[in-house]
């Protein structure tokens, strides 16, 4: 397997029901057999507008979070651990994004989102987010009740494992890194048949 180098530009593409719904330029902070860390800097992204359980279109979105977001993903895990910072640079929270294991693509990294998220404050207080979306997906027949239950169980497993702090809370991007272009590169929306 070829790993990506720190500073390399990639696209982090989030899919739902096999379709793109969020495409964000990222910069690789670390990539190896045990961990992939990608920083999503402020800038232009594509995001869905419309109904994720029905139809949607992708439009431009300006991603403004001053310090960006750092995504840590371990191969095979069914979640990524996102890191958020306040505008003043202090650490704000972890965010467990439940998702299918990452796939490597020509553009970067793709994953199928599993809707449920958990926001975890530095003092360990947590709350689930988007439980209503999981319910709605079941009601719409997009998820079976069994799949929804499995997603919730995975959330419970992560809460039990407490994979924080990660050691990346004081991480900062290399000031020498080139920022991504304003426009996404050609092929940003091409879905290929993918292998791990």
Residues that bind Mg ion (CB under 5 A): 97, 113, 117
CA distance 10 to 7: 9
CA distance 16 to 48: 10
Nearer to Mg ion, 128 or 177 (CB): 128
Nearer to Mg ion, 136 or 181 (CB): 136
Smallest gap, in angstroms, from Cβ of residue 81 to Mg ion? Answer: 12
Retrieve residue 137's tokens: 């997906």
Nearer to Mg ion, 77 or 117 (CB): 117
Smallest gap, in angstroms, from Cβ of residue 1 to Mg ion? Answer: 26
State the DSSP H helix or E strand holding residue 157, giving kind and residue range, or none if neither.
helix 145-161
Smallest gap, in angstroms, from Cβ of residue 113 to Mg ion? Answer: 5
Nearer to Mg ion, 107 or 115 (CB): 115
List the one residue out of 189, 171, 179 whose CA is nearest residue 72.
171
Smallest gap, in angstroms, from Cβ of residue 117 to Mg ion? Answer: 4
Retrieve residue 127's tokens: 């709350």
DSSP assignments along 29-68, one per residue: EEESSS-EEEEE-SEEEEEEEE-TTS-EEEEEEEE--TT-
Smallest gap, in angstroms, from Cβ of residue 97 to Mg ion? Answer: 4
Nearer to Mg ion, 100 or 166 (CB): 100
Could you give the 3-state DSSP secondary structure of residue 115?
Answer: strand
């Amino acid at each position: 397997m070829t790993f990506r180098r720190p500073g390399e530009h990639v696209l982090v593409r989030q899919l739902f029901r096999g379709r793109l719904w969020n495409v964000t330029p990222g910069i690789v902070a670390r990539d190896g057999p045990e961990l992939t860390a990608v920083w999503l800097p402020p800038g232009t992204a594509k995001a869905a507008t419309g109904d994720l359980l029905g139809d949607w279109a992708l439009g431009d979105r300006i991603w403004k979070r001053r310090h960006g977001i750092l995504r840590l993903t371990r191969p095979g895990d069914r979640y990524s651990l996102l890191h958020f910072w306040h505008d003043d640079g202090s650490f704000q929270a972890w965010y467990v994004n439940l998702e299918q294991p990452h796939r490597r693509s020509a553009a970067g990294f793709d994953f199928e989102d599993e809707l449920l998220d958990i926001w975890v404050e530095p003092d360990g207080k947590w709350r689930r987010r988007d439980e209503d979306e999981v319910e709605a997906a079941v009601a719409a027949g997009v998820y079976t009740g069994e799949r929804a239950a499995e997603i919730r169980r995975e959330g419970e497993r992560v809460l039990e494992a407490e994979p924080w702090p990660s050691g990346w809370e004081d991480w900062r991007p290399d000031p020498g890194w080139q920022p991504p272009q304003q426009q996404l590169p050609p092929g940003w929306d091409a879905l290929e048949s993918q292998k791990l």
